[in-house]
Structures are given as structure tokens and as C-alpha cells.
């Protein structure tokens, strides 16, 4: 099976539950930008800002789209952060979030993850997000 390396907005499929776009998996910035372009309204603005902040905080970050979600990592094979759009919020998953100090606010059923939810009513605390991104990027990533 050939590994896809790029996607364009034209590759975007239908919006799934919660407004999450169905994007072909791929590595690099292009599939992440296709994911963002396929979003609508305030969710597009939030995810675009999250993406920009991650790149500003960790310029050498590697990106991919897997499981209809943008992933961010350091080596292109393991990931420290993922983004997924839900109906009322954007879910930011810190895969080793329970090791962050302070921990992101939302607990997870998985052993190590913690979440941050961003909505129209609860805007992003950019300073806290950037601090978590920098710290998470220095931890071992999750293989997916």
C-alpha cells in the first residue's frame, strides 16, 4: 500500500459527526492544511490558530493527518498532540498530558492523556497552550 504524503482541500470528503472533516491520511503540512480548509466557521479559526501556535512554539514539529485528525510530533512516527473537532468544541489531546505540569484540564480514560477543550464560549488560553506544547514536544511521543 502506497503511503500518501499530501492532500488538498479538493481531497476532503464529507464532514463527519461534529463537523470533523474526512481527510485522507498523509504526512506533512499539506494534509493538515486540507483538514483546516475543510472545517467551517469558528472551528476553522480555532484549529488554524492551534496549528500556528504549535509551529511557533516548536518550529521543527512534524505533522500528519491520521484517523481524520491532525497529529503533531517530533520524528514523524510518534505524536505528542492531536486535534479532533467535536460538535461543541475542539478537542486537543496531549497524549502524555498527565506528565505535564500543570496538567491540561480534562481527564481521559486512557492512561496518560489529558485534553483541552476549546469552544466559542471558552476561548483558547494561548500562553497555557504554548507552554503545554513546548513541554509535550520534549516528552516521548505515542506511536499511532
Within a domain: 74? yes
**Overall number of domains in the chain:** 1
Cell of 16: 463527519
Q: Rounded mean pLDDT of 110-133?
A: 95
| Residue 70: DSSP 8-state | E
Select from 97, 95, 70, 98 the least CA-distant residue to 84: 70
**What is the per-residue pLDDT for 19?**
72
Q: If you count DSSP H runs as helices and E runs as strands, how many of each does the chain have, helices first?
A: 3, 8
Domain range enclosing 69: 9-143
Within a domain: 55? yes
Within a domain: 30? yes
Within a domain: 1? no
Within a domain: 2? no
Which tens digits make up the pLDDT trace of 20-43?
788 889 999 999 999 999 999 999
pTM value > 0.85: yes
Within a domain: 81? yes
pLDDT band for position 66 (cuts 50, 70, 90):
very high
Average pLDDT of the chain, as a whole number: 89
Within a domain: 90? yes
Q: Rounded mean pLDDT of 48-71?
A: 97
CATH number for position 102: 3.90.1150.200
The residue ranking higher by pLDDT, 67 or 5, is 67
Amino acid at each position: 500500500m502506497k503511503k500518501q504524503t499530501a492532500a488538498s482541500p479538493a481531497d476532503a470528503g464529507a464532514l463527519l459527526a461534529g463537523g470533523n472533516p474526512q481527510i485522507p491520511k498523509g504526512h506533512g503540512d499539506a494534509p493538515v492544511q486540507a483538514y483546516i480548509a475543510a472545517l467551517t466557521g469558528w472551528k476553522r479559526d480555532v484549529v488554524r490558530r492551534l496549528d500556528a501556535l504549535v509551529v511557533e512554539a516548536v518550529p521543527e514539529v512534524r505533522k500528519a493527518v491520521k484517523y481524520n485528525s491532525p497529529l503533531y510530533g517530533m520524528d514523524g512516527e510518534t505524536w505528542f498532540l492531536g486535534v479532533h473537532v467535536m460538535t461543541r468544541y475542539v478537542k486537543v489531546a496531549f497524549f502524555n498530558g498527565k506528565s505535564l505540569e500543570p496538567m491540561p484540564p480534562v481527564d481521559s480514560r486512557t492512561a496518560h492523556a489529558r485534553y483541552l477543550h476549546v469552544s466559542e464560549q471558552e476561548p483558547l488560553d494561548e500562553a497555557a497552550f504554548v507552554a503545554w506544547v513546548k513541554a509535550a514536544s520534549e516528552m516521548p511521543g505515542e506511536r499511532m
